[in-house]
Amino acid sequence: MKARVHVTLKSGVLDPQGKAIGHALEALGFSGIGEVRQGKVIDLEIDETDADSARIQVEAMCQKLLANTVIENYDIELNP
Amino acid sequence: MKTAVVVFPGSNCDRDVKVALEQSAGPGVQMVWHKETSLPDGLDLIVLPGGFSYGDYLRSGAVAAHSPIMREVKARAEAGTAVLGICNGFQILTEAGLLPGIMLRNRDLRFLCKDVCLKVETSQSLFTARYESGETIRVPIAHHDGAYFVDEEGRRSLEDNSQIAFRYCDEQGHVTPESNPNGSISNIAGVFNESKTVLGMMPHPERLSDVALGGTDGRGLFDSLVETLS
């Protein structure tokens, strides 16, 4: 099974990279840009066919390593 | 004082900190590779040095925090052995859950390599006994991810328990927004754990601990450890 983990910064955490991207877009002439936040996507292949146990496993991976929950939220997408 | 310095792939201040430690404590600092699963017996101090462990992949310090040796470092820290993390070592300690908070990318997105002034918040610790509370010292920083972040509740708890070790300040010792190089919350440059046996700091005291390096303000930290742990 494949899993895609989206890691995003929690609201209230300063994201200077997102800000810089926003400024760069404005410099390129794109207008009407509000807040820009940068995150990460992590694609995983796991040796598991049951969606529920896959989710439990990936959830544990997120808690232990893939995200730091002090500053980040995560969202898990499973693709059988 | 019996000391071990843990070496991760990508550590680059491991030998500098060994030299600084041995200048204060005499020879005998042991280097321990991160794949080891045990530490020498009877250690008084464990040091996690600066550098770019695992190329800062995922998040600075995140991968190193799960190295085999870290299980032992955590066990010793929980048993009360002093642990010092400098720069990347500080990032590893936060990722390992031994210190609160985390380091974010610098506010201005630039790698910063320069001397900064630090206010020593307390001399009441193993690490700062040789300084005066409120003293201003000059120590270099060299980091890209150095903006200390902790949520408001965490920040209050650090203040209430006197867990802030150092803050960025100006030359007169005033903690101001202008003297904050990287956007750290409340100008925080270093924090203790609750029992003040673990210290993490972004600045590099080992880089200004010898006259030949241009200053000795960092030496007080190593001298403090020798005085309190020997």
pLDDT for the residue numbered B70: 97
pLDDT for the residue numbered A12: 87
pLDDT for the residue numbered B101: 97
B63 vs A contacts (CB less than 8 Å): 65
Pairwise CB contact (< 8 Å): B105 & A17: yes
Active-site positions of B? 87, 204, 206
Residue type, B13: C
B102 vs A contacts (CB less than 8 Å): 68, 70-71
* Per-residue pLDDT tens over the stretch B180-201: 999 999 999 999 999 999 999 9
ipTM over 0.90: no
Token duo for residue B62 = 């995140």
Pairwise CB contact (< 8 Å): B109 & A20: yes
DSSP B114-155: EEEEEEE--S-STTTTTSPTT-EEEEEEEESS-EEE--HHHH
**Cβ–Cβ under 8 Å, residues B39 and B32:** yes
Pairwise CB contact (< 8 Å): B104 & A71: yes
Residue B175 contacts A, CB cutoff 8 Å: no
**Cβ–Cβ under 8 Å, residues A6 and A75:** yes
Residue B93 contacts A, CB cutoff 8 Å: no
Residue A66 contacts B, CB cutoff 8 Å: yes
Residue A11 contacts B, CB cutoff 8 Å: no
* Per-residue pLDDT tens over the stretch A7-59: 999 998 989 999 999 999 999 999 999 999 999 999 999 999 999 999 999 99
Residue type, B63: V
Q: What is the pTM of this model?
A: 0.94
Strands B136-143 and B82-86: unpaired
pLDDT for the residue numbered B33: 97
pLDDT for the residue numbered B56: 93
> Among all chains, which residue has been given the structure tokens 């060299």?
B142
- Indicate the helix (H) or strand (E) that contains A41: strand A40-45
Q: Which of B137, B106, B135 is nearest to B121 (CA)?
A: B135
Partners of B91 in the β-ladder: none
Q: How many CB pairs under 8 A join A and B?
A: 37
**Cβ–Cβ under 8 Å, residues B117 and B171:** yes
What is the DSSP code (8-state) at residue B195? T
Q: Which residues of chain B have pLDDT under 70?
A: none
Read off the pLDDT band of A80 (50, 70, 90): confident
